[in-house]
Structure 1
Amino acid sequence: MRAILLVIIILGSFCASFAQSKIELENSGIISIEALKSVVDTLSSPFFEGRSAGTLGEIRSADYLSEKFKSLGIFPTPCNSHYIQEFPLKNRSGYSKHVTVNQRRFLFGTDYFYVETANDTLFKPDSLIFAGYGIQTEQYDDFEGHDVSGKFIIFFNGTPSGRRDLNEWNYNWKLKFRSIYKLKPAAVVIISENISALRDSLSSPIKSFEFINLCKGPASIPVLFVSEEMSPFFLPEAEQSKLMSTKKRIDRGGKPSAFVFRTDAELFFSSNTRELTGMNVIGFLPGAKRKHKGALIISAHYDHLGIRKEELYPGADDNASGVSVMLEIARQFSLSIQNGELPLRDIYFLASGAEEKGLQGADYFLNYSTCSNIEYSTNLNIDMIGRTDASYDSLGLSNYLYIITDTTKYVELILQNEKLNSDSLRLDLKYCNPLHPLNLMRRNDQFHFLEKGIPSLFYFSGIHDDYHRPEDTSDKIMYEPLKNRASLIFRFARSLAF
Structure 2
Amino acid sequence: MSSDRVPERAKDAPSPTKLAQTITAQDMKRHLSTIASTEFEGRETGTDGQKKAAEYIARYFQKLGIPAIGNDGNYFQQINFFAENWENIDLEMDGTPLRHLWDYYAMPADNESRDWKDIDEVTFLGYGIDDPAYSDYKGTDVAGKAILIYPDEPKDRKGNYLVSGTSNPSDWFENLEKKLQVAKQHGVEVVFIIDNDFKQNVSNARREILNRRLAMVESLPEDRNLANSVFLSSEVAKKMISGEFKKVVKARKRIQKKGKLRSVSIPVNLRLRQEKSVRSLVGENVLGYIEGTDPELKDELLVITAHYDHLGKRGEDIYFGADDNGSGTSTVLEVAQAFAQAKSEGWGPRRSVLIMLVSGEEKGLLGSQYYVEYPIFPLENTIANVNVDMVGRVDPKHEEKGNSDYIYVIGSNRLSTELHQINEDANARYTQLELDYTYNAEDDPNRYYYRSDHYNFAERGIPAIFYFNGTHEDYHRTSDTVDKINFEKMEKIGRLVFYTSWELANRDDRIKVDVRP
Find the counterpart in structure 2 of residue 387 from structure 1: 393
**Identical aligned residues as a percent:** 37
Indicate conservation of the 8 Å contact 1:79/1:370, yes or no: no
Find the counterpart in structure 2 of residue 28 from structure 1: 19
1:413 aligns with 2:430: no
The one of 430, 441, 446 equivalent to 1:438 is: 446
Paired residues for 1:40-79 under 5 Å: 40-77=32-69
Distance in 1 of aligned mates of 2:308 and 2:321: 9
Indicate conservation of the 8 Å contact 2:292/2:299, yes or no: no
Indicate conservation of the 8 Å contact 1:80/1:370, yes or no: no
Find the counterpart in structure 1 of residue 212 from structure 2: none
Find the counterpart in structure 2 of residue 363 from structure 1: 369
Find the counterpart in structure 1 of residue 30 from structure 2: 38
Shift of 1:375: 1.6
Shift of 1:370: 3.8
SS of aligned partner of 1:427: strand
Shift of 1:273: 7.2
1:478 aligns with 2:486: yes
The one of 276, 282, 285 equivalent to 2:290 is: 285
Distance in 1 of aligned mates of 2:51 and 2:420: 36
Find the counterpart in structure 2 of residue 85 from structure 1: 77
Find the counterpart in structure 1 of residue 470 from structure 2: 462
SS of aligned partner of 2:73: coil
Shift of 1:80: 5.7
Find the counterpart in structure 1 of residue 9 from structure 2: none
Paired residues for 1:113-124 under 5 Å: none
Could you say if the C-alpha distance between residues 279 and 407 of structure 1 is closer, same or farther in structure 2, counting changes exceeding 3 Å?
same
1:451 aligns with 2:459: yes
Find the counterpart in structure 2 of residue 313 from structure 1: 319
Could you say if the C-alpha distance between residues 296 and 427 of structure 1 is closer, same or farther in structure 2, counting changes exceeding 3 Å?
same
Distance in 1 of aligned mates of 2:418 and 2:436: 15
Could you say if the C-alpha distance between residues 303 and 408 of structure 1 is closer, same or farther in structure 2, counting changes exceeding 3 Å?
closer
Indicate conservation of the 8 Å contact 1:294/1:377, yes or no: yes
The one of 357, 370, 392 equivalent to 1:351 is: 357
Distance in 2 of aligned mates of 1:288 and 1:486: 23
Deviations 1:170-192 (A, max 9, x none): xxxxxxxxxxxxxxxxxxxxxxx
Shift of 1:29: 2.5
Q: Which amino acid aligns with 1:423?
A: T
Distance in 1 of aligned mates of 2:17 and 2:402: 35
Could you say if the C-alpha distance between residues 406 and 480 of structure 1 is closer, same or farther in structure 2, counting changes exceeding 3 Å?
closer
Q: Which amino acid aligns with 2:447?
A: N
Indicate conservation of the 8 Å contact 2:340/2:348, yes or no: no
What is the number of equivalent residue pairs in this alignment? 297
Distance in 1 of aligned mates of 2:412 and 2:17: 37
Find the counterpart in structure 2 of residue 496 from structure 1: 504
Could you say if the C-alpha distance between residues 292 and 372 of structure 1 is closer, same or farther in structure 2, counting changes exceeding 3 Å?
closer
Gaps of 5+ in 2: 2-15, 85-276, 507-517
Gaps of 5+ in 1: 4-24, 93-271
Distance in 2 of aligned mates of 1:468 and 1:407: 29
Shift of 1:409: 2.8
Shift of 1:455: 0.5
SS of aligned partner of 2:403: coil
Indicate conservation of the 8 Å contact 1:376/1:454, yes or no: yes
Distance in 1 of aligned mates of 2:74 and 2:406: 37
Deviations 1:177-235 (A, max 9, x none): xxxxxxxxxxxxxxxxxxxxxxxxxxxxxxxxxxxxxxxxxxxxxxxxxxxxxxxxxxx
Indicate conservation of the 8 Å contact 2:407/2:436, yes or no: yes
Could you say if the C-alpha distance between residues 377 and 29 of structure 1 is closer, same or farther in structure 2, counting changes exceeding 3 Å?
same
User: Considering only aligned residues, what root-mean-square deviation do their CA atoms show, in Å?
Assistant: 2.5
1:335 aligns with 2:335: no
The one of 376, 383, 386 equivalent to 1:377 is: 383
Shift of 1:91: 9.5
SS of aligned partner of 1:287: coil
Distance in 2 of aligned mates of 1:394 and 1:303: 30
1:427 aligns with 2:435: yes
Distance in 2 of aligned mates of 1:370 and 1:487: 27
